[in-house]
Structure 1
Amino acid sequence: MLKSLGYFASALALAAPSVVFAKDETAMMFGMRESVEDIDISPDGKSILYLTPGPGASTVVLASKLDGEPKPVLSSTGKPDRLHWCKFVSNTRIVCQVSALVEQVGYLIPFARMVSLDMDGGNVTQLGQRASFNDARLRQFDGSVLDWLPQDGGAILMNREYIPEAGMIGTRLARDKNGLGVDRIDVRTTKASQVEPPSKVASDYMSDGRGNVRIMEVRRSERGTSQQLTSLYEYFYRPTGSKEWKPFGTYDSNTRVGMIPLAIDAEVDSVYTLKKLEGRWALYRVKLDGSMATDLAYANPKVDVDDVVRIAEGDRIIGVTFAEERRHEVYFDPEYKALAESLSKALPNLPLVQFAGSSRDHNTLLIYAGSDADPGRYYVFDKPSKKLAEVVVARPALEKSRLANVKAVSYPASDGTMVPAYLTVPAGKEAKNLPAIVLPHGGPSARDEWGFDWLSQFLAAKGYAVLQPNYRGSSGYGDEWLAQNGFRSWRTSIGDITAGAKWLGSEGIAAPGKLAILGWSYGGYAALQSSVVEPDLYKAVVAIAPVTDFQMTKDESRGFTNERLVKNYIGSGPHVVEGSPLRNVAAIKAPVLMFHGDQDRNVAIDQSDKMQAALKAAGKKSELVRYRDLEHSLVDSQVRVQMLEKIGVFLDGAMK
C-alpha cells in the first residue's frame, strides 16, 4: 500500500493484462484502448517506458530494456485514480502524474499529484508540498514539471503550488508561503531548493531548458472578492543575466488578440511565440536580450501554425508544425530535416513521422510513424549505425485487419463556402451507394486531422462511409473560420454539417434513406441539433456525452472561477433556446441513442438525463446508456467495446 500518495494511495498497484470479451469482434478490436498512451526513452537510450491499458479503466506503466520484455512498474484503477503520463528523470528514476475526481460538498473536484519512483516501482515519493490539516484551501494541483534538467540527471525544476495554513497565522509553526513558485527538487530525496519564490499572481512559468526561469504568466482575475478569472493573460520576461521581470506581451482568449509564448530556445536566447498574421497564428522568434527584437520564423497562408518541434523536452527548437489536409513539420535544422526525409523514405506507408523522444546524447531517437490505415508504431533509431528497429505497436489487435483509407475532400455549404472534410470509405468498397454516417468533431474549437481514428474506422469496418466535416467554428483555419464559436454561431456550424450530409447524397456516396449522424461532446450536440433542424434527413442519431442545453452549460459553471468566461462564451439571446436540442425535442423524428459517464466534468450527465426525459415525454424513440464512475472520454476498454456493439446494432436496425 502506497500510503504517501494521499487520495491515490489505495488505488496504485500492479494490474493484469487487459482482457475484454465481446459478441462483436469488430467492436472488440476497435473499442480496446490503444496500447501506448504515453511513451518515453531513457537518458542512456537503452530503455523505454510507456502507459498501456489494464482491465477496464485501469492503466499500467510498463518499462522495458530495448532487448528485453516489458515489466509492470505501477498502475491506476481509473476509478477514481488515473495515470496520465510517466517520464524518465534518470536511467533508474521516473516521474508520473496521477489524478482523481473526488466529490466534495456536492461538486466533483479534480485533484492531481506528481510522484517519483524507481524503475522497479519502489521508493515512491510525492513531489508537491505536503498537505496539512490546516491548509487554507483545497490543494487540487500540486504542480507541474517546468524543466527536466537533463544536465543534472536526477532533479527537476517544478512549478509548485504553495498553500498557507489557516488558524495558525502568527505562530512560528504556521506555513505562510502562498501561490505558485519554482523549486529544484531531487526526485529521490525530495529535497527542494527555491528557484522562484511563490507568487499569488503567477499562473505559470517557463524555463530555458537549462534551469533558468525566463517567462512568467499572470492570469488576471477580476478585482474584489469574486476571484472570477478574466480572459486576459499577461506575460513577463527576464532579460539575459537579469532577475528583473519586464513586460513581454498579453493575450486575450476572448478576442483572440495578442501573443502566446510557446518555448524558449537557450541557444539563440529567444522565445518562440504565436502571434496573428493576416488572421492566422504564425510563429515568431523574440529575443530575450532586452531588445525584444522580433522576426517571423514561419507562417502558413492557409492554416494556423500550432506548435514548435523539439527532439526532447527542453531541447533546442528544430522546427514548426501545422495541419493542412495532413499534419506537416517544417524543420529549421538541416540535420533533422534530412533525417526526417530519410525516415519517410524508409517508412513509405507511414507518412506521419514524428520525433517522440531522444537519449541525452541524441544518438538514440524514439520515432512515431503512422497513417490513416495504420494506428501507428514506435521505433528506435540509432544514429551512428543508422539502424531502425520497431519496439512497440499502438494497436496490436488491428495488426491483421485491413483498415479503411481516409481521403481529404471538400463540399459547398449553403452559401457556397467550401468546407474541408475527411471521407472514410470501407476497405475494398467504392464510394457509391453506401450506408453513411456524418461524424462531426467535438470542441467546437477543435478540428479533425488526417490519420487513424478508432471511431470512424469502426464504422467503416461495419460497412459505413464516414464524413468528418471541419465546419465553421472549427479551429486551425484562422479567425474568420473560427467565427464567434460553435455555440454563438450554431446556425453556421450546424448548417455546414447539414450541407455535408446532403453532399453525401448528391454525390451518390450515401444510399437513399441510409444516412445517420453520430458525435461526441459538441459533436453529440451537433448530432442532436442537426436532427432538430433537418428532421427528415437522418435515420438515426447517436450522441455521446452531448451538450443538450446552452443554459445548462452556463449553469454548470456556477460557483467556479470560470463562470463568467463560460457565460460570455455561450452568450445570451434567442440562440440559447433556438440552438438547444433539449428545448426543441418536438422536431426530432429519428430514433436517438445516447451514452454518458456520470463523472463527466466537461458536460454534466444531467444534460443527457433531461434530454432523455424530454424525448420520452414527447413520445420519441430514445435510449440513454449511463456509465458509472467514468468521465467525458469514457476511458474504459470494456465500456467502449460495449458502446460500439450497441451502436452497431442500433445503426443496422435504423438503416433497414
Structure 2
Amino acid sequence: MKTLMMLASAVALAMPAAAQPAAPDSAARPAFDAARAFGARESLTQVSLSPDGTRIAYVAPFGARGSAIYVAPVDGSAVPVRVGTTDGKPDRVRSCRWASATRLLCSVSGIIGNPRLTNISRMIAMDADGGNVAVVAQPGTGRELLGSTGFGGSVIDWNPGVEGSVLMLRGYVPEYDTGTRLAQTKRGLGVDLIDVTTMKVRNVEQPAEDASEYLTDGRGQVRIIGRAVLRDGYSTGRRLYYFRRKGNRNWEALSETDATNPTDPAFDPYAIDPALDIAYGMKRHQGRMALFSKALDGSGTETLVYAHPEVDVGGLVRIGRNRRVVGVSYATDKSYVHYFDPAISALRRMLTRALPNLPMIDVVDSSEDEKRMLVWAGSDTDPGRYFLFDRDSKQLSELMLVRPELEAVAMGTMRPVSYPAADGTMIPGYLTLPPGSTGKNLPAIVLPHGGPGARDYWGFDWLSQYFASQGFAVLQPNFRGSAGYGDAWFQRNGFRDWRVAIGDVNDAGRWLVKQGIADPAQLGILGWSYGGYAALQSAVIEPGLFKRVVAIAPVTDLDKLKSDSEGYSDFVVVSRFVGAGPHVAEGSPARHAAKITAPVLMFHGDLDLNVAVGQARLMQDKMKAAGRPSELVEYPGLDHYLDDSAARETLLRKSAAFLKGGPAD
C-alpha cells in the first residue's frame, strides 16, 4: 500500500461497541441468483482463536460495505455476538485478534482524500463482549507538524512475555514547539510495548526516519531492523538489514536487498528462530527463490534450508501465538508445504485423511499451548470452511463456512493444463469448464491475473466459477512475467517485457480455439489490474482474436502509472519497475485505442490506491475519440478490490451479458 510523503490530518475511525447477537437466518431463501451469490462478500474474512482455545473472534460483512466483529464459543453453546461495527465509509475492520484471553486488538482502516488518496489506519482494543473500547493513541499530543500519521501501527509480536501486552510498530511525527518540554520531536518508525487493557505505552525501539521493518524472535526481543535507503524522501528500493546478538543491544550488518533488481542475490530476512538463534529468509538459488537460514551469532553462516527444482519457494508456514516457523510453501500445479516440524507434519497428514475432499489445509491459529487448532480447508470446488481440531481428543469439529450461499451449488473442476506459446514454450495455467459440460464449442474467457509480479493458483476462484456457472470455459494462464517460476520465467517483468507476456495471453485464446473448447465467435478476455491491462493490450496487438474485452481497474498508460506515484514513497521503485524506452509508448493501450476493434467494458473504483481511476478514464476518453465502442462503470467510494457485494454483483451480471454478445445490462 502506498504511503503519502506528506500525510493528511488523521480522521477518527469510530467503532460502535454495542453488543448484540447475530440475527437468525429465518427468512425464506429467494431463488438462486448466480451473480448475487458469487458476487457476495465472504461471510467471514479473518478468524482468530482465543489463547485458551474456547472462543473465536471473526470479521464479517456489515451492511453494504462495512465490517462487523463477532465473538462466539467454539462449542456452539451460544450464538455469535456482534461486538463492534464499522460502516465502510471509509473505515473497515481489516483484522481482529486476541491480544489476551479477554481483550481483542483490531485494525481498522479506510482510504480518504481526493484526488490525493491515502490510507488511514488505527488499532482499536476492546473487551471480548464489546466493552471498554479504546483507540491505541498515536505517539505525541496531537500537535504534529504534518498532521497525525496515517499509519496506526501494526503488531509485530503477539506474545512478548508481558501478559496482556503486544509489541507494535508505530509511526512518530514531530510536533509544534509548545513552549514546554512536552513536544514530541521524534520522527520515523519505532517499536512500543502496548498494554491493551490500560493502554500504557513503553518505548522499546526509538523511532528512526529510515526504519522500515523490525523483526522479533516471537518472545518480545527485537533482533533485526530493516533500514530503507532514501533519496529526496523517496524509497530507492534498497534496504539495509542489521541484527543483534543474544543479550546485546548493538546493531551489526546482516544483508542488503534491492527491490528494483529482479535478480537480487541478497538474503532477505523474514523470521527468527530464537531456539536455533537463526534468521530465516529468502535468497536466490540457481535462478529461483529458496529458503536459507543465517546465523545470528556473528559468524554470518548461511545454510540452504529448502529449494525446489522447478518453482520458487513461496513463503514461510508459521503457527501459534509466537508465530514459530514450521515449514515452507511452494506451488507447482497445486500448492504444497514442506514441513520442518515432525509433529505438525504428522498433524497435516492426519487432517488430510480426515478431509479427503478438501486438500487445501491451513492451520490459521492455535491456543497458547497449541493443543487446540483453528484449521481452514478448501478446494477448487469448495470456497472453504473452518474447523476446530483438538489434538488431545483427536476431534475435528466444523465451525463455519466461508461462503454459505454457495454450499449446494455445483462448481466446475479447475484442471491444471499447459499450452504452447508461439515460440514453443509450454505455458502453465488452469482450465475451468462449466459443470456437466462436454467441454467443446463453448463461449470462453481468457482470464489473465493481476500483478504482474503474481501468479494464479489452484483453488476456488469466485470469478472463474461464476463464469463457469454461466456456461463459459475459463483459462487462467501463468504467462511469462508471472512470479513463482524463477528468474528466467519472470524475465524483466510483465511491463518491460509486455510483448512476451501479452503474446502468451493471446496464445491462450488461440489454444482454446484449436482444442475445440472455445467457439471462436464467442471468445472473450477479462482481467483485473494488470490483467485488465493485458486484456486491453491483447486487443491492441491482435484485433479480432477476442470478440469482447472486460478490464477491471486496468493500467492503460505506463508513463501515467509512473506519474500517478509521484508524491508517494514508492515513486522511484514504480518508475524503475516500469522503466523507460520505446516499450512504454508501444505498451500503453490508451495510446493505441484506434487499433482496438472489439467492444470494451471497464470497471473502476474512484478510491483506488493501486491503479488510479484516471487510468480507466483516460482509456474511455481515447476509445470515444477513436469512435470505438466502450463503457466505463465507476464505483464511488470503492478501492482497487471493489469489496462491495452490490458492486460485484453488478460487475458479474453486466460482464456476463456483455461477453455473451449482448448489451452490458
Q: TM-score, normalised by structure 2?
A: 0.94
**Of the candidates 81, 86, 103, which is equivalent to residue 76 of structure 1?**
86
Equivalent position of 1:285 in the other structure:
293
Find out whether 1:611 has 2:616 as its counterpart: no
Find out whether 1:216 has 2:222 as its counterpart: no
In 1, the alpha carbon distance for the partners of 2:464 and 2:299 equals: 50
In 2, the alpha carbon distance for the partners of 1:162 and 1:654 equals: 54
In 1, the alpha carbon distance for the partners of 2:487 and 2:30 equals: 45
Q: 1:198 to 1:411 in 2, by over 3 A?
A: same
Within 5 Å, give how 1:246-395 maps onto structure 2: 246-256=252-262, 257=264, 258-395=266-403
Moved more, 452-461 or 574-583: 574-583
**Of the candidates 3, 9, 14, which is equivalent to residue 9 of structure 1?**
14
In 2, the alpha carbon distance for the partners of 1:10 and 1:284 equals: 43
Seq. identity, %: 47
In 2, the alpha carbon distance for the partners of 1:23 and 1:537 equals: 37
Moved more, 625-634 or 603-612: 603-612
Shift of 1:20: 14
Asked if structure 2 preserves the Cα contact closer than 8 Å seen for 1:30 and 1:454, the reply is yes
In 2, the alpha carbon distance for the partners of 1:23 and 1:613 equals: 40
Find out whether 1:193 has 2:199 as its counterpart: no
Find out whether 1:238 has 2:244 as its counterpart: yes
Find out whether 1:572 has 2:577 as its counterpart: no
* 2:79 alignment partner AA: E
Q: CA offsets, 1:381-404, max 9 Å, x none?
A: 001100000001110000011111
Equivalent position of 2:164 in the other structure:
154
Q: CA offsets, 1:446-482, max 9 Å, x none?
A: 0000000000000000000000001111111111111
Moved more, 16-25 or 186-195: 16-25
Find out whether 1:505 has 2:510 as its counterpart: no
Moved over 4 A (4+): 10-24, 130-133
Shift of 1:146: 1.2
In 2, the alpha carbon distance for the partners of 1:78 and 1:246 equals: 44
Q: CA offsets, 1:192-234, max 9 Å, x none?
A: 1222122222111110011101000101102xxx212111011
Shift of 1:654: 4.8
Asked if structure 2 preserves the Cα contact closer than 8 Å seen for 1:164 and 1:176, the reply is yes
In 1, the alpha carbon distance for the partners of 2:108 and 2:247 equals: 36
* 1:206 alignment partner AA: L
Equivalent position of 1:592 in the other structure:
600
Q: 1:655 to 1:76 in 2, by over 3 A?
A: closer
Q: CA offsets, 1:95-126, max 9 Å, x none?
A: 0111122216x411211111111112221122
In 1, the alpha carbon distance for the partners of 2:307 and 2:28 equals: 46
Within 5 Å, give how 1:497-576 maps onto structure 2: 497-576=505-584
* 1:617 alignment partner AA: A
Asked if structure 2 preserves the Cα contact closer than 8 Å seen for 1:539 and 1:654, the reply is no
Moved more, 64-73 or 129-138: 129-138
**Of the candidates 476, 491, 498, which is equivalent to residue 483 of structure 1?**
491
Q: 1:428 to 1:207 in 2, by over 3 A?
A: same
Q: Secondary structure of 1:477's match? A: coil
Q: 1:640 to 1:14 in 2, by over 3 A?
A: farther
**Of the candidates 110, 115, 135, which is equivalent to residue 124 of structure 2?**
115
In 2, the alpha carbon distance for the partners of 1:133 and 1:154 equals: 26
Q: Secondary structure of 1:291's match? A: coil
Q: 1:22 to 1:237 in 2, by over 3 A?
A: farther
Shift of 1:22: 9.8
Asked if structure 2 preserves the Cα contact closer than 8 Å seen for 1:265 and 1:315, the reply is no
Within 5 Å, give how 1:435-454 maps onto structure 2: 435-454=443-462
Shift of 1:171: 3.3
Q: Secondary structure of 2:509's match? A: helix
Shift of 1:653: 2.6
Residue correspondences, number: 647
Find out whether 1:134 has 2:143 as its counterpart: yes
Q: Secondary structure of 1:7's match? A: coil
**Of the candidates 88, 91, 95, which is equivalent to residue 85 of structure 1?**
95
Shift of 1:292: 2.1
Q: CA offsets, 1:35-94, max 9 Å, x none?
A: 121111000000111111122111111110012311111122112112110000112101
Asked if structure 1 preserves the Cα contact closer than 8 Å seen for 2:47 and 2:56, the reply is yes
In 1, the alpha carbon distance for the partners of 2:433 and 2:214 equals: 46
* 2:129 alignment partner AA: D
Asked if structure 1 preserves the Cα contact closer than 8 Å seen for 2:140 and 2:175, the reply is no
In 2, the alpha carbon distance for the partners of 1:11 and 1:383 equals: 37
Find out whether 1:425 has 2:430 as its counterpart: no
Unaligned runs of 5+ in 2: 1-9
Q: Secondary structure of 2:218's match? A: coil
Find out whether 1:229 has 2:235 as its counterpart: yes
Asked if structure 2 preserves the Cα contact closer than 8 Å seen for 1:375 and 1:395, the reply is yes
Q: Secondary structure of 2:113's match? A: strand
Q: Secondary structure of 1:582's match? A: helix
In 1, the alpha carbon distance for the partners of 2:157 and 2:142 equals: 30
Q: Secondary structure of 1:268's match? A: coil
* 2:221 alignment partner AA: N
In 1, the alpha carbon distance for the partners of 2:29 and 2:645 equals: 10
Shift of 1:12: 7.8
Asked if structure 1 preserves the Cα contact closer than 8 Å seen for 2:192 and 2:205, the reply is yes
Q: 1:630 to 1:396 in 2, by over 3 A?
A: same
CA RMSD after TM alignment: 2.1
Find out whether 1:181 has 2:190 as its counterpart: yes
**Of the candidates 380, 392, 413, which is equivalent to residue 421 of structure 2?**
413
Moved more, 485-494 or 68-77: 68-77
Asked if structure 2 preserves the Cα contact closer than 8 Å seen for 1:539 and 1:655, the reply is no
* 1:156 alignment partner AA: V
Q: 1:648 to 1:20 in 2, by over 3 A?
A: farther
Shift of 1:308: 1.4
Q: 1:59 to 1:10 in 2, by over 3 A?
A: closer
Q: CA offsets, 1:163-195, max 9 Å, x none?
A: 221344x63231123222211111011111222
Moved more, 275-284 or 158-167: 158-167
Q: 1:541 to 1:11 in 2, by over 3 A?
A: farther
Shift of 1:133: 4.4
Q: Secondary structure of 1:411's match? A: strand
Q: Secondary structure of 1:428's match? A: coil
Q: TM-score, normalised by structure 1?
A: 0.95
In 1, the alpha carbon distance for the partners of 2:203 and 2:520 equals: 68
Q: 1:328 to 1:267 in 2, by over 3 A?
A: same
Asked if structure 1 preserves the Cα contact closer than 8 Å seen for 2:159 and 2:321, the reply is no
Q: CA offsets, 1:117-159, max 9 Å, x none?
A: 1112221122242564420224010321111116433100111
**Of the candidates 478, 485, 488, which is equivalent to residue 470 of structure 1?**
478
Q: CA offsets, 1:574-616, max 9 Å, x none?
A: 2111111111111111111111111111111111112112212
Find out whether 1:94 has 2:104 as its counterpart: yes
